[in-house]
Amino acid sequence: MIDEPDYQQAWDLVVSQLRMDMTQGLFDTWVQPLTALGYTNHAFIVGAKNPYARDWVQSRLKDRIERILEGFYSGKVTLQVEVLNGLYKSPRDENPITGLDEENNEREFDNSLHVQPKTGQGEKTRNRKVMLQKAYGSRRAAVIQPERGMFVTMYFFSQWLPLIGHSAFTVILAARSMCFWNPMTGELRNTIETDMTELATRAAVSVRTVKDILKNELVRRYFLRYRARRIMTPNGVRTAGITLQVRMDDPLTPHDQDEYNLPEEDHWYTDEFEDFEEE
């Protein structure tokens, strides 16, 4: 087994990016079964389950994966795909996308990337390659890490910002940056252990501002709930931090709830955050 530092972290980065760019069916079929084997001499090696999967990854994903890896390693990387075993299975036996043949599968892949179906080998992904090269193919991109983004709706920016103000806006985003939410899989981690100082530092505001924001009725009702963590010390009880629960999706503003007759669920948080506890 090839053993080089950071190759699993590099592959996690690739998987994370491909998960965002591809449909769930394509990702589960072609990317999820791949296994990172190692990185050596500027070659990154992954294992596929059969020759068909190897060939598909090499023809459809090789350039994209290499661009992401080059951003991680800050240099030229060549992807090598090896078959982990010699047992061949029909892609229809393994493909969870019911009814798709190879042609339809490739068409869905192209549509998921917003590129035109191939009319010539040199043109099929030219625009996509240029975009990936700009995003991942430089040392600057390796520092910025554009694959680590946070989704912000225009609704949140245009409708909620005027209501709650810039400080509350940044505190909510800072809190969300500490959580995880994947709408495609439903995976959600929105309860975190932190403290006022860390939240203030991430949002570039004062601790006093954070405390005021967490008491703001609109913020409390729709975005952030917290409980103080207190511990017993020889000098008595002191606050050790906060347990914060964060709403990751955007609610409608009170005005839009009335306008469109779409009332929001006020109790989006769990029962343990029912009682607001002042710091």
Question: What pLDDT is stored for residue 2 in this prediction?
Answer: 43
pLDDT in tens, 96-118: 333 344 444 445 444 544 444 44
Amino acid in the structure at residue 231: I
Is 195's pLDDT higher than 80? yes
pLDDT in tens, 139-161: 676 677 676 777 889 999 999 99
Mean pLDDT of the chain: 80
Domain boundaries, the chain: 7-144, 154-273
| H or E stretch covering 123 | none
**Can you tell me which residue has the tokens 């939410």?**
181
* Lowest-pLDDT choice from 108-117, 130-139, 209-218, 266-275: 108-117
Question: What pLDDT is stored for residue 98 in this prediction?
Answer: 36
Is 231's pLDDT higher than 50? yes
Please give the model's pTM, rounded to 2 decimal places.
0.55
CATH 3.30.300.180 fits 7-144, yes or no: yes
Which of 145, 210, 142 minimizes the C-alpha distance to 172? 210
Sheet containing 35-40, strands listed edge to edge, beginning at the edge strand earlier in sequence = 35-40, 43-48, 78-83
In angstroms, the CA 182 to CA 19 distance is: 10
